[in-house]
Structure 1
Amino acid sequence: MRGKTVALVATLVLSATAGVAAAGPQGSPHREPVRFATFNASLNRSSESELLADLSTGDDKQARAVAEVIQRSRPDVLLVNEFDYVEGGAAADAFRRNYLQVPQNGARPIHYPYAYVAPVNTGVQTGHDLDRDGRVGGPGDAHGFGMFPGQYGMLLLSRHPIDTERVRTFRTFLWKDMPDALLPDDTATPEQGDWYSEKALDTLRLSSKSHWDVPVEVGGRTVHVLAAHPTPPTFDGPEDRNGRRNHDEIRFWADYVTPGRGGYVYDDTGRRGGLAAGERFVIAGDYNADPLDGDSTDGAAHQLLDAPRVRDTRPASAGGAAAALLQGGANDSHRGDPWHDTADFGDEQPGNLRVDYVLPSRGMRVVRDGIFWPVPGTALDRLNSASDHHLVWVDVRP
C-alpha cells in the first residue's frame, strides 16, 4: 500500500503544471478575464501593534512568503482573511509598499492601487459572559473571538476601482434578528435557544468579524465582492454555539443574494434589504465549513453552494491531493475529494478541508480556476508554509 501511495504522489508531481502558479490575466482589463481570489494569509498577531511593526520592516519572513504567493497567483481582486485591522489602513499600505510591490524570490511585483479595510467584531467586548466561564471579559466574551479589537480582520485589494460610497457593511446586525436563527441551546434545560440571556441577545452580533458588500468597477460593470470570515465551528461544547453561528453567518450571504429572502437584512447605516436581482457578485472568504467533512453544522456550506444564484466551479489542485495522501490519518476517512481541499490541517482531526471559497454569480462566464497549493517536493513547496490555508482563485468575464 505504501508503494502505491508513493507511486501516486510521484504521478501527481509529474502532472503538476504551471497552473499551480498560473500568471494572472494579461492585456486590457476590459477584454480579459478578471481573477477574483481569497487567501487566509494568517497575518494575525498576538498584540495590537505587532502586525504593523512587522509589515513596516520589509523583512518579515512570513509576510514575504504570503506576498510571493500573491505575486505568483496574480489576482486582480483579492480578499485577505486574518489581516489584523489597523485604523486608517496603515497595515494595508505597509503590506503593499514593502512586500507586494517588491519582488519576492524572483516573482514579479504586483500593484494594487485600491484597498478597502473596515473595523471588525473580533475583540470588541459585549459586556456579557458569553462562554460561561464565570468571568466577563476576555476573547471569549467579545462579539468575535479576539485578544484585541481588529485581530483576524479582513483586507480587500483590487486593481480595479472600488466604489467606496456604495459599500455596505453588516457588522452590527444582531444574530437574533435573523428569522429562525440557530441560536444555541443550554442542553441542561428544556427551553430552546437559551444558551444566551435575553440581555446578551439584545447585544450579540451575528458576524464574528463582519460581512462586507464591496462594489468593484470592472470595465463599466459592477461586481459586488461579498466578503466574510465566519467563526470556526469548534471550541465550544454540546450547545454548539460556534457551529450554529458559523451556519448562520454562511446563511446570511445565501439569503442576501437570493431574491425574496433578504428582506430582513439591515446594514450598519440602517438600510434594509438584500442584493438586487440581476446584480453580479462574487462571494469570497474563509467560511470554515467543508461540504462533507469537518465539524461544521450539517448543510452549512451547502447553503451557499446550492443557492440558486451561486455557481460553484470547484477549484482544484494536485498539491492538495498529494498532501492528503502523504499525511494520511484523518484524511483517509474523508468523504470529500482532496483535490478540492484548501486548508492544510495535517493528519489529525479534522484533517485537510475545503473551507475557502470564491463563488461567482450565475451569468458571469467562468474561464478557469485553481488553488495555489504546490505539490510537495516541487520548487514552490516552500510556499506551503506561508499559511495553513491556500489561495483560491477564479477567472471570470463579468
Structure 2
Amino acid sequence: MPFSVRAQDTIRIATFAAPLSRDGPGLLLRDILDGEDPQVRATQRIVDAAAPDILLLTDFDHDQGLAALRAFNDRLARPFAHLFARPGNAGLATGLDMDGNGRLGEPRDAQGYGRFRGDGGVALLTRWPVLDEAVRDFTALPWPELPGAVLPETAEGPFPSSAAQAAGRLSSTSHWAVPLRIDDGTTLTLLAYSATPPVFDGPEDRNGLRNRDELRLWQRLMAGDMGPVPALPLVLLGNTNLDSADGDGFRVAMARVLADPLWQDPQPASAGGEANPSPGHNGDPALDTADWSEDGPGNLRVSYVLPSRDLTVADAGVFWPAPGSAGAELLGEDGFAAGPHRLVWVDIRR
C-alpha cells in the first residue's frame, strides 16, 4: 500500500512539486474549473490518497484572491480549512538583464524565472489556522544582504552586472516562516520555500550559487543572523532542487542540512523509487522524489520534509508505488500523470 495505517494522534505534513503552472495568468483556474485537465485531476487524486493535514504545493500559479487555489481545494475529497499564499518573485519584472544575454523582458530577467507574475508559485493548505500577523516573509530579501552570500562573478566583474546584483532578490519564488496554531494550543512553524534548479546557466554558476544560498537562508535564520530565531517546534519543507548525493549543484550544502542536529531526517522512502534506480548514482534510490530522464539528471531526492529534533516522527514516505501495486494507477500508465515529482509526507505525533 502507498501508506501504512495511520495513527489517530498524528499530523501528516506533505510537500508536492506537482506541475500546476500554466503558460499564462488565469489558465490554471480555467483548467481547474473545467474539471477535465489530466494533470489537475491526477494531482488531486494523489492528494486525496495521501490525505495530508498540511500540504505545501511548490509549482502552483499564484493569482489575486487565490482563486485557483480555492477552486483546487474545493474539488478535493476533503478540502482544507485554511489556505495561505503570497505573491512571490517568479515573473516579477526587474527591467534589467538578469541572465546576461543582452536582452530584456524575458522570463529569466524577472526576479525569479517566470513568464508572468505568479508563475509557478508556492501555496500552503492546512487544517489549522495560520497566524497571519506572525508570518515572516523573506521573499523580498536582496541576495547581497544574506550574511555570507556568494554572488556570481566572471573575469569582467559581477555577473551579469553590478546593477543587476544590487537589485536582485535571493528567493527565486518565496521563503516563508509560517506559524500554525494547532488544536492543543501548540504553535508549529513551517519554514517553506521552493528553490531555483542549480542548472540552466553558464560558467558563472549563477543558479547554482543562488540555489545554495536559498537553502543557506534558513541556516542563517536559525543562527540568529536575520532577526529573532523561530521557536521550536519547526518543520523545514519544500523543493530544494538539490540532492545531497547526486546531480548538479552544491550537494554538500544539502548534506550539511541533513546532518544538522537541529533537524531530523525521517528518510521518506518508496517502493517505486527503489525499483527504478538511476545507473551510476550514489544515493539510495528509495529516497528519490523525482523521476527524471536518464538522459538528464536521472532520479533525485529534491523535495524534503524535515521536522525539528523535538518532534516525534511516527512514519514517513514518498508517494511512488511500485508498478502494479495499489495506488500505482494514480501515477498514470507512464508514471507521469502528475509530473515527474512525487508527494513526500511525514507523520509527526501530536
Which residue matches 1:357? Answer: 304
1:275 and 2:229 matched: yes
Following TM superposition, by how much is the alpha carbon of 1:96 offset from its aligned partner in structure 2, in angstroms? 1.1
Following TM superposition, by how much is the alpha carbon of 1:177 offset from its aligned partner in structure 2, in angstroms? 0.5
Q: Paired residues, what number?
A: 344
Which residue matches 2:148? Answer: 180
1:206 and 2:170 matched: yes
**Aligned match for 1:307, one of 252, 260, 263:** 260
Structure ID, larger Rg: 1
Following TM superposition, by how much is the alpha carbon of 1:138 offset from its aligned partner in structure 2, in angstroms? 1.0
Deviations 1:218-253 (A, max 9, x none): 121011111100100000011110000000000111
TM-score normalised to structure 2 length: 0.95
1:247 and 2:215 matched: no
Q: Secondary structure at the match of 1:42?
A: coil
Following TM superposition, by how much is the alpha carbon of 1:296 offset from its aligned partner in structure 2, in angstroms? 1.1
Distance 1:396 1:40 in 2: 21
Alpha carbons 2:272, 2:320 under 8 Å: kept: yes
Distance 1:372 1:241 in 2: 32
Task: Give the aligned CA root-mean-square deviation in angstroms.
Answer: 1.5
1:222 and 2:199 matched: no
Distance 2:255 2:57 in 1: 23
Amino acid at match of 2:270: S
Are the structure 2 counterparts of residues 209 and 131 from structure 1 closer, same or farther at C-alpha, using a change threshold of 3 Å?
same
**Aligned match for 1:121, one of 79, 84, 89:** 89
Distance 1:322 1:179 in 2: 42
1:155 and 2:123 matched: yes
Distance 2:326 2:315 in 1: 23
Distance 1:110 1:275 in 2: 34
**Aligned match for 1:53, one of 12, 26, 30:** 30
Alpha carbons 1:121, 1:143 under 8 Å: kept: yes
Distance 1:369 1:303 in 2: 21
1:293-304 to 2 correspondences below 5 Å: 293-304=246-257
Following TM superposition, by how much is the alpha carbon of 1:178 offset from its aligned partner in structure 2, in angstroms? 1.3
**Aligned match for 2:313, one of 341, 366, 375:** 366
Gaps of 5+ in 1: 1-17, 27-31, 101-108, 266-272, 325-330
Gaps of 5+ in 2: none
1:1-398 to 2 correspondences below 5 Å: 18=1, 20-22=2-4, 25-26=7-8, 32-97=9-74, 99-100=75-76, 109-186=77-154, 188-189=155-156, 194-218=158-182, 219-257=184-222, 261-263=223-225, 265=226, 273-276=227-230, 278-324=231-277, 331-384=278-331, 385=336, 386-398=338-350
Q: Secondary structure at the match of 1:236?
A: coil
Which residue matches 1:9? Answer: none
Q: Secondary structure at the match of 1:183?
A: coil
Are the structure 2 counterparts of residues 24 and 82 from structure 1 closer, same or farther at C-alpha, using a change threshold of 3 Å?
farther
Distance 1:58 1:136 in 2: 37
Identity %: 44
Deviations 1:262-311 (A, max 9, x none): 32x2xxxxxxx1433x4211111011000010001241212421223111
Distance 1:92 1:303 in 2: 34
Distance 1:124 1:349 in 2: 29
Following TM superposition, by how much is the alpha carbon of 1:179 offset from its aligned partner in structure 2, in angstroms? 2.1
Amino acid at match of 2:219: A
Are the structure 2 counterparts of residues 153 and 24 from structure 1 closer, same or farther at C-alpha, using a change threshold of 3 Å?
farther
Deviations 1:20-44 (A, max 9, x none): 1446554xxxxx1111110011101
